[in-house]
Amino acid sequence: MKDVKLVVIGGDAAGMSAASQARKRLGPDRLEIVAFERGRFTSYSACGIPYWIGGAVGELDALVARSPEAHREAGIDVRLRHEVVAIDVENREVLARDLVGGGEVREKFDQLMYATGASPVTPEWARVPAAGVFGVQTLDDGTAIQEWLDGEPARRTAVVIGGGYIGVEMAEALLKRGLDVTLLEKSAQPMAKTVDPDVGTLVAEAIRREGIKVVTEAQVTGLATTDGRVTEVVTPTGSLPADIVVLGLGVRPNSELAAAAGLPVGPTGGVRTDRRMRVAGTDNIWAAGDCVESHHLLTGAPVNIPLGTHANKQGRVAGINLAGGYATFPGVIGTAVTKVCELEVARTGLTEKEATRAGFAFVTASVESTSRAGYYPGASRMTIKLIAERRTGTLLGAQIVGKAEAAKRIDALAVAVWNRMTVEEMTALDLSYAPPFAPVWDPVLIAARKATDAVHAAM
């Protein structure tokens, strides 16, 4: 008989990272693992779905880091198409429903890993039983869209509702598939929760240049259907024809199951954990990924930032700890990057709105520069914006928009934010230089110099 039984709820990044770490540390002789997953895939890249649909990634299998069969060979009992519907904390037991064969199963646990991910925001008007309406949350969602596009070649009009990460990425994917695409966004510019309005305006202009129609400050009130198929997106100013509708309205932590079991849920809607990813107030329940709230290193406030990078790190920390080791997850600063056609968009730290909400006084600086030496072939323009605390000059946030080789510069800026560097300290950073890779003054250094001038002027 094995010493410890671990039950995992959710078979993607956080859950299976935790299971794999625990298995590595305790070994198959001591640890029994049962993982419940309501979908058909495990350990996959949801972030890669738009690139698979758009054709940049050729095969579905490329998005799967580890298949259910591979996990089973490693000694993890993966049960697909099983949805956990209740957690009995006192009796250390979960109740799962078999979504294919019917019936229910009860499974005891010594340790429980809660990794249920996030649920898409779906307004009432979007809940219509019509073909051609899709969310993009799981790999099952992605396969449904791919099958629809492959099976409906004559249907050529797409409407994407929501201009966040998944919305702009899916707009590009559908454009590459040859559809006429309209992107609807309720704010004044796309990616309004990601970048400041001035940067968002640059994003909107670039998207429009690629041939995507962008409608901002758009309010959707319904979806019209005919013979069980979506045909129009209804707005107060008129209806838009639509053969396919993709919903990109954001996500929320999938914490209902935890809340129903009496586990603590924070103000963001995410499950509350300590730095070791143990659910607050428990000794044997752990949580990680899009379903939890994290600590923001700059503001100190709880946040929910659903990204695969966080999910994998948090899952690893939880797995180490539940297996008797010690690790912590320090927090997040909101670093993210995306691509829309030829445009790259990245951010780290705080936007102006977020800095204001957190009570910071700050200055900003924006510069335009090139990705390479101006005389070297292929140099492209980019804009870098920095936000620095007014008194100290500490870097609070950064945003980048540009073409090839622009966005990954956000990583250097993320390191600066993480380590509380001032923009004046950044002006002396020893960044690499060669004409094929950067101008002699890298755009990061130019932006830091301009931000330093702004800090001094504000003193």
Active site residues: 47
155 torsion bin: left (phi>0), alpha (psi -120 to 50), beta (else): beta
Reduced to 3 states, what is the DSSP secondary structure of residue 109? coil
d(C-alpha 332, C-alpha 360), whole Å: 18
SS3 call for 151 = helix
346 contacts 382 by C-beta, under 8 angstroms: no
Distances (CA, A) of 339 to 165, 287, 333, 360, 434: 9, 30, 20, 30, 25
Give the tokens for residue 46: 């949801």
DSSP state of 327: -
Tokens of 164: 């966040």
Neighbours of 375 (CB within 10 A): 9
Residue type, position 184, single letter: L
- The H or E element containing residue 16 is helix 13-26
13 DSSP β-pair partners: none
b/e map of 440-453 (b: 16 or more CB within 10 Å)?
eebbbbbbbbbbbe
